[in-house]
Structure 1
Amino acid sequence: MNYSYFQVSEQSLEVEFPEQINVEENELIQDIARQLIDQKAIGVTGIIPAYHTLTVNYDFDLTSYQDLVDQIDEIILNANQDKKTGRSIIELPVCYNLEYGPDLQDVANYGKVSVEELIKLHTGTDYFIYMMGFLPGFAYMGSVPKQIAMPRLKVPRKVIAAGSVGVAGAQTGMYPVDSPGGWRLLGRTPIKLYDPSNPVLKYHSGDYVRFKAVDETEFKKIQVEDQKGDYQLKIIQEGGENNG
């Protein structure tokens, strides 16, 4: 796989792969990041994986640009792309309606499908989490079926409710907190995605998310259970299944 190195600053380097949204490429980026963390790489002070790049911050008193390049080259050389990595699939309930998803009909019109068909299309794919960013807990995931990959709004909304689920071109994601945003909203999850008092996320880069359609009665039931701490997300592991 082709890749290049760039010195971003005197204490930061970037590994750049071909500019594309590609699961295999991003899994390699996630693997490099994970191995640098697991190996407690000397001098590394921060690791930022993105769609097709990996930024590594380091202390030049403890390591050097070339030492890190050599270490990353070795990880890439030894990477086994065919090896299963035990990814988790997190099943996330979503209520798709015009109250929670004001763009539901517009996206259906864009895809020349009914709202019911749109929901089946959106829930019929397991979405890979390429990177986290923008907000704590905001997962950039793909890829949305081309038929419903409607571009984001030209004028972003000033406020989007926490839990809102939307699409922006080939990407899909959930707003973990109230926020401005320009994604096309399809529905909302009753799950509290981010709690600043307990910022442990239920999903991470490299995981998959599977949306499950629920009606409003079930939405409210799950919301109450989640607020009490009684609701458990369904988590499917490669080779098995468990609830977490």
Structure 2
Amino acid sequence: MVYEYRFVPVGEQALNVVFEATINAEENRLIHSLAHTLLKSIGKDGGITGIIPAYHTLTVNFDIFQTNYAELTKQITSIIEKHSFLENEGKKHVIEIPVCYDEEFGPDLDAVSKYGKTTFDELIRTHTEEPYLIYMMGFMPGFAYMGSVPSKIAMPRLRNPRAKVPAGSVAIAGKQTGMYPVEAPGGWRLIGRTPVKLYDYNHPEPRYFAGDYIRFKAISKKDFYYIQKLDLDGEYQLNELDQGEFF
């Protein structure tokens, strides 16, 4: 397979590897695989200080005292042309996130339901049916950009964003779905909320990463408050599902 890509300098200490400007799971998996390969084959010893995968780009930060733009682009080109990064496509992590799809937590449930000409139950089944790929992390710590939402419920974002969106809110914006890790302004359509704390600056290990998959599980309001208490007490663990169910 021939990949179309180009390099773009980002200041003196970073570069972007830019692939085709499309949003699809296959291309994004290749980007994550390439990121893993660069960390493994070049890594800190070779001057890489950080890697940020996005929808169709990969940002590579580097130490100018160890390497430079020309040397890195040469190394990355060799890896891409040899297709050696494909060897790093390994196990897919599917993480289950409990969500209460209730109008108290999802003020846009009715609007999204009408948009898709579905009942609430059909909307919930549609949103929880398949796992979503985390294409990238961004906007704020712990915010996962996921897709792709089925077309019939892929309602565009609000024209006028809300000043405050509660932490844990699960939302839709076109073909994307996401979870607000902390309270923040936002214009996505709110359809539910998870009782799980998605981001904790006191907790060094994130609960999910770009390249993982999220499967939403519908829960009752009673279970919401029960899980919320368990999570606050540090007694709740997210389930990792068997990838064989989906892939």
Q: TM-score, normalised by structure 1?
A: 0.93
Contact map agreement 2:101 2:219 (CA 8 A) in 1: yes
Indicate the residue corresponding to 1:91 in structure 2.
96
CA distance in 2 between counterparts of 1:86 and 1:67 reads 31
Indicate the residue corresponding to 2:164 in structure 1.
159
Indicate the residue corresponding to 1:187 in structure 2.
192
1:59 aligns with 2:63: yes
Runs of 4 or more consecutive aligned structure 1 residues displaced over 6 Å after TM superposition: none
Indicate the residue corresponding to 2:24 in structure 1.
22
Shift of 1:236: 1.9
1:45 pairs with 44, 49, 72, which one? 49
Contact map agreement 2:79 2:85 (CA 8 A) in 1: no
Indicate the residue corresponding to 2:77 in structure 1.
73
CA distance in 2 between counterparts of 1:224 and 1:10 reads 47
- Alpha-carbon RMSD: 1.7
Shift of 1:81: 4.5
Matched letter for residue 22 of structure 1: N
CA distance in 2 between counterparts of 1:6 and 1:83 reads 24
Matched letter for residue 92 of structure 2: R
Structure 1, unpaired ranges of 5+: none
CA distance in 1 between counterparts of 2:57 and 2:34 reads 11
1:11 pairs with 10, 13, 24, which one? 13
Q: Deviations over 1:82-107 (max 9, x none)?
A: 87510110011000011000000100
Contact map agreement 2:34 2:85 (CA 8 A) in 1: no
Structure 2, unpaired ranges of 5+: none
CA distance in 2 between counterparts of 1:229 and 1:60 reads 42
Equivalenced residue count is 240
Secondary structure in structure 1 of the residue aligned to 2:10: strand
Contact map agreement 1:86 1:237 (CA 8 A) in 2: no
Shift of 1:56: 1.3
Shift of 1:78: 2.7
CA distance in 2 between counterparts of 1:96 and 1:153 reads 19
Secondary structure in structure 1 of the residue aligned to 2:15: strand
Contact map agreement 1:14 1:54 (CA 8 A) in 2: yes
Greater displacement, 96-105 / 225-234: 225-234
- Report % sequence identity: 53
Indicate the residue corresponding to 2:148 in structure 1.
143
Aligned pairs for 1:166-181 (under 5 A) are 166-181=171-186
Aligned pairs for 1:83-122 (under 5 A) are 84-122=89-127
